[in-house]
Structure 1
Amino acid sequence: MNTEETHSSKKVDTTSQLSMFRFILDLPNMVTLLGLLSALLGIYAAITGKIYIAVVFGVWSVVFDWLDGLVASKLKNRTNAHRAFGGQLDSLIDMVSFGVLPAIILLSYSNYNPWFIPGSFAIIAACAIRLSYFNIYGLTNGKTYTGLAVDYNGLIISLFFLIESFFSSDIFPEALYILVIIIVYLNVSAIQIPKFPKTILIGIIIYAIALTIHLVNL
């Protein structure tokens, strides 16, 4: 389940304020933090020139992003405070996983060409705008997303790297740049995208495992 769905509009009782450690020990939030760790490792890999490893970690960030929502839906005794905190934490980590990490991958693959900075900024900005918009309006009629949900950024970029061999080494960075701009447009567009069922997580996990085996061996 896409973790953007875990955002809650219910009001929180601030008279019984919980400590931050109580929220950290909440199982769905622990899963969300694993997504942040995956994104951090992806950023480190990209900075050190291990682009394929960075792409793999980006996909695992997607896995944890969907998994935390699934875990949250199975827990029956979570308070409104836990749901609200989880939604805020999820948004902040999505910024890193699906905004900052793709931007660093783009910059690193271009050997930090300054002409690629606008594209890198654009995907971070689009991620921030998309998440802020969703936090206000949520799903349209409870069924569809307005614009491409940001967790698909990592999946689309990873799929593009699977067809890298069809491009020359001189052209692929520019092709990746164009792809990022297309993703930016889709993130902030008004297109309606259906909400996928929870069972799609199984396919994402299988894809992440297969991608890991494939790209790590390149």
Structure 2
Amino acid sequence: MTTDKIESQELQPTILSYVKDIPNLCSLSGLACTIFSIYFSILGVYYAAMIGMIWAVAFDWADGLIARTMKGRTGNDRAFGGQLDVLIDIVSYGVAPAILLLSYGEFEPVFLFGAFIMLAASAIRLSYFSVFGLAGGAKYTGLALDNNNIILVFIFLFEGVFSHGVFSTILYVSGLGLAALNVSQIKTPKLSGNSVNVYILAIYIIGITSIYSWKLL
């Protein structure tokens, strides 16, 4: 083994050293919220699941905001954080909504198709973004995945208005519609990069959390 290779290995940081990075801690906190939402989706406590889903978005936006304001982060820090963010996004905005659909559909086989389409669209959307990034440096191609959770938790506010069977159909169609938008050629702005949108999301999250917390009482 050459001296250069030995020095390169000695300089390579440990895996867990990146956990100390505050933006990555935010990303992992979002993952914890997602596990929370998946857990309660499976149990059928959907109002609690909605709280987890919307807070996953909150931490997802927070990690980017913090990363942009922090100084001294290396190229490796940014690259690792970007990879971690993408991997967590597929769980938060692909797996969690798919499990929500399956659970609400009482795990009937027909809901497997919808869950697969939602998850597949999320994976394709994220892969495309990883390769091509923002269109023109400012807009996403396809509906950004965080919108999936933002929209689904709003739709679920009307769950009590309809019968279980009717709302399961609404949820199914909504999931397929979002999947189609995720992989479409529409151009959507990067909402998390605008301070006004951050305040709007914060108000939305507080409102959604309050409503679903009240429903859980």
Q: Answer yes or no: same fold by TM over 0.5.
A: yes
Counterpart-to-counterpart distance in 2, 1:87 and 1:14: 22
Query: Hey, which bits of structure 1, 4+ residues long, moved more than 6 A?
Result: none
Match of 1:144 among 139, 164, 167: 139
Structure 1 residue 166: Cα displacement: 4.0
Deviation at 1:48, TM superposition (A): 0.8
Higher relative contact order (CA 8 A, sep 6+): 1
Contact 1:148 1:189 in 2 (8 A): yes
- Asked if residue 208 in structure 1 is aligned to residue 205 in structure 2, the reply is yes
| Secondary structure at the counterpart of residue 163 of structure 1 | helix
| SS of the residue 2:195 aligns to | coil
The amino acid that maps onto 2:198 is: L
Between the aligned partners of 2:85 and 2:197, the Cα distance in structure 1 is 19
CA contact (8 A) 1:51 1:108 kept: no
**Can you list the C-alpha shifts for 1:59-99, whole angstroms capped at 9, x where unaligned?**
10000000000000111100000000000000000011000
1:169 is matched with which residue: 164, 167, 177?
164
Q: Does 1:111 align with 2:106?
A: yes
TM-score scaled to structure 1, two decimals? Answer: 0.90
Q: What secondary structure is seen at the aligned counterpart in 2 of 1:107? A: helix
2:44 maps to 49
Amino acid at match of 2:171: L
Q: Distance in 2 between matches of 1:165 and 1:45?
A: 18
Deviations 1:126-181, CA, capped at 9 Å, x for gaps: 11110110010000011111001111110010111123344333200011000000
| 1:1-218 map, 5 Å | 16-196=11-191, 197-218=194-215
Give me the whole-angstrom Cα distance separating, in 2, the residues matched to 1:34 and 1:17. Answer: 26
Would you say the 8 A contact 1:67–1:201 is kept in 2?
no
Number of matched pairs: 206
Which position in structure 1 is the counterpart of 2:4?
Answer: none
Q: Secondary structure at the match of 2:116?
A: helix
**CA distance in structure 2 between the partners assigned to 1:79 and 1:156 by the alignment:** 35
Structure-2 change in CA distance of 1:20 and 1:205 (3 Å) = same
Q: Using the alignment, how far apart are the partners of 2:141 and 2:179 within structure 1?
A: 13
In terms of fraction of residues, the more helix-rich structure is: 2
Instruction: Tell me the TM-score normalized by structure 2.
Output: 0.91
For 1:14 and 1:74, the matched residues in 2 are separated by: 30
The Cα RMSD (Å) is: 1.5
- Given residue 131 of structure 2, which amino acid in structure 1 is its aligned partner? I
Greater shift, 190-199 or 32-41, is seen at 190-199
Larger Rg: 2
Structure 1, unpaired ranges of 5+: 1-12
Q: How many Å separate the matches in 2 of 1:167 and 1:177?
A: 14
- Are 1:46 and 1:54, in contact at CA under 8 Å, matched by a contact in 2? yes
Is the CA contact 1:146–1:190 (under 8 Å) kept in the aligned structure 2? Answer: yes
